[in-house]
Amino acid sequence: MERVLIIGAAGQLGSELTQALANIYGGDNTIATDINPQSLEKLNFCRTSVLDVMDKDAVRKLVKDENVKQIYHLAAVLSATGEQNPLFAWHLNMESLLFILELAKEEKLDKIYWPSSIAVFGPNTPKVNTPQYCVKEPNTVYGISKQAGERWCEYYFQKFGVDVRSLRYPGLIGYKSLPGGGTTDYAVDIYHKAIAGAHFVSFLSEDSYLPMMYMPDAIKATLDLMHSPKEKVLIRSSYNLSAMSFSPKEIFESIKTHYPDFTISYKPDFRQVIADSWPDTIDDSKAREHWGWKHDFDLENMTGDILKHLPSYSF
């Protein structure tokens, strides 16, 4: 079995992806790392190590000592958080990616996974069925770093043969971790408020449509891409990925069918401007054509699944 390293393993995506990778490669061959030692405690099904991705010597030593063959580089400052400290967000997001790509080239690693985002799009991007190839003029530091990162990934594949693969995630929704500072995180928090019997205040307007995806579909897409034969991965910048699109009002109404007394109000803040620059819906036909992507969850069955499992999940 190949040895797999996950950087930023304790985040919303990382914690669930790490479990899936451990199920495939085994706990002894799955090394979960994060800068926060306490956050690693929940990943006791695999090997863990405290690691700062900006400590290049430490990352290199771990990769060489453990004979790592695949890296899932998930560490990043997300959209809303990044706007609070844009220079730090750019430094962490870009410098870490460039180092991992260079390390993959030097050590001849088998595969690299790096997530992109719908944040690469901007206000001049077509908002409905946003195509794979179109104008991208992001207006957040997160989106700018993802757009630049996509170009570097394709560059390292074309120039040096680094087998790097990427997905442009829509908003990701899961119940196994708390919101992590993204603009789409309202769609995670709203379920927690419903379960707690609390009133929910949306930081987006009621009719703000955004592309969204339930975490099991995001994990499935990631693994499907990474396990596809190299010749089927025809896009080396990042693939569009889609499952569903909805507004805060629609997710609220889906929850009310289970919690009739649930209430909501709307108080848009700076994140509304970010959301307004992103697409309403995404055309992911290239992913479906090239490596057979197909989602399983829509809004209705996602809401039912979350409300079934969330009450018994502890943080």
CB atoms closer than 10 angstroms to residue 165: 22
Amino acid residing at 45? F
Q: In what order do the strands lie in the sheet with 70-73?
A: 47-50, 30-34, 4-7, 70-73, 111-113, 164-165
Residues annotated as catalytic are 142
φ, ψ dihedrals at 171, nearest 5°: -65, 130
Helix, coil or strand: residue 299: helix
Nearest to 54 by CA among 92, 102, 6, 107: 92
Task: State both tokens at 157.
Answer: 């594949």
Work out the burial of residue 20: count CB atoms within 10 Å of its CB; fewer than 13 is exposed, 13-18 middle, 19 or more buried.
middle
Calpha distance 90→82 (Å, rounded)? 8
Calpha distance 194→310 (Å, rounded)? 10
Calpha distance 24→16 (Å, rounded)? 13
Nearest to 207 by CA among 256, 266, 265, 247: 247
Calpha distance 108→161 (Å, rounded)? 9
